[in-house]
């Protein structure tokens, strides 16, 4: 890993004093406009992050790990953070938590903020980043774990599962039960939703059936599940199966079936994704892919803390797999 870019590095690049660069961050109006622009461009190119932490802290470990998640309301990420804190608490580390809202530019700002407070490592729950984020992280010297997915070329380390393979297996289970007209319900359309769509489509095409998707760019909710199923039933003939990108949509779809008197699974099979507890409160209970969110958090925290302590992972990409809760809705 490279060393973090310093004020002196910026000053040396431009042939100016370190004091001038420092003044740019503290009181930019006191720096000549032409020099300000040169410093701004050098900062952008180099991935430099201004240190907001006290000087004393910058010379030692902060024993803090930055964690960036895309949603504060999604139960999936609360389980992930719970797993992370299981390890950080035991190892004497704290976390600083930031929320990106599935926006790469927001994620970039949050990562800059976390690094400005001299975190010792980062855990990111997204794998697609802005170009500047990648520059910042590659220059930082920080251990970074991208989690929840398995990127082909991680920034540093990655822990997750194969969402395409999980969806492929779930849809094949539906097909093996005699389902032929299976519709995929999707929301948000983030990377993981699209990976699941790829697995769904692969299973359908492989079996000789035509994939059919009903999607919304808005976030998932029980109400969205009800609305998307209504659209599917209005759009397609003879729908006999619904595969949902998450359990929120699946539970909403099941409630819509109950309202209309559609029998699950006799008239319509429904399969969710993530294996949330809410699915087991339904009647019938929800069949769903179980994702190991807490275990991903635990492993991610172990890997980043080991790297902080100088023990680099011999296997940088860890696949924790998935399982299937058969439930009663299939």
- pLDDT for 44 equals 82
- pLDDT for 293 equals 97
Q: Which regions of the chain are under pLDDT 50? A: 1, 55-59
Q: Domains in the chain and their CATH numbers?
A: 7-46 (no CATH), 55-161+293-320 (3.40.50.2300), 163-290 (3.40.50.2300)
Task: Give the β-pairing of 323-325 and 287-290.
Answer: antiparallel
Query: Could you report the per-residue pLDDT of 186-206, keeping only the tens digit for each?
Result: 999 999 999 999 999 999 999
- pLDDT for 55 equals 46
- Cβ atoms 275, 325 nearer than 8 A: yes
- Cβ atoms 52, 116 nearer than 8 A: yes
DSSP output for 241-302: EEEESSHHHHHHHHHHHHHHT--TTTT-EEEEEE--GGGGGSSSPPEEEEP-HHHHHHHHHH
- pLDDT for 56 equals 42
- pLDDT for 102 equals 94
- pLDDT for 57 equals 47
Q: The pTM is what? A: 0.83
The residue to which tokens 């929800």 are assigned = 286
């Amino acid at each position: 890993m490279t060393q973090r870019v310093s004020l002196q590095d910026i000053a040396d690049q431009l042939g100016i004093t370190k004091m001038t660069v420092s003044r740019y961050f503290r009181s930019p109006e006191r720096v000549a406009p032409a020099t300000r622009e040169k410093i701004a461009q050098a900062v952008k190119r180099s991935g430099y992050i201004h240190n907001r932490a006290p000087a004393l802290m910058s010379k030692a470990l902060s024993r803090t790990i930055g964690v960036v998640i895309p949603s504060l309301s999604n139960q999936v990420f609360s389980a992930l953070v719970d797993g992370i804190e299981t390890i950080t608490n035991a190892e004497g580390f704290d976390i600083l938590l930031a929320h990106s809202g599935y926006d790469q530019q927001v994620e970039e700002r949050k990562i800059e903020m976390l690094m400005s407070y001299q975190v010792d490592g980062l855990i990111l729950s997204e794998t697609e980043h802005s170009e500047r984020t990648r520059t910042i992280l590659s220059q930082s010297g920080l251990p970074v774990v991208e989690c929840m997915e398995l990127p082909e070329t991680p920034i540093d380390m990655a822990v997750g599962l194969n969402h395409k393979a999980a969806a492929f297996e779930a849809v094949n289970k539906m097909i093996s039960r005699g389902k032929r007209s299976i519709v995929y319900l999707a929301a948000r359309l983030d990377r993981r939703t699209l990976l699941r769509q790829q697995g769904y489509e692969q299973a359908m095409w492989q079996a000789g059936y035509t994939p059919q998707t009903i999607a919304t760019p808005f976030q998932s909710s029980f109400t969205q599940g009800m609305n998307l199923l209504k659209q599917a039933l209005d759009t397609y003939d003879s729908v006999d199966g619904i595969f949902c990108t998450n359990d929120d949509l699946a539970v909403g779809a099941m409630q819509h079936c109950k309202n209309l008197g559609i029998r699950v699974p006799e008239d319509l099979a429904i399969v969710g994704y993530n294996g949330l507890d809410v699915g087991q409160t339904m009647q019938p209970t929800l069949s769903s892919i179980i994702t190991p969110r807490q275990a991903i958090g635990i492993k991610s925290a172990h890997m980043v803390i080991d790297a902080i302590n100088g023990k680099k992972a011999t296997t940088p990409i860890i696949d924790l797999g998935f399982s299937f809760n058969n439930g009663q809705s299939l």
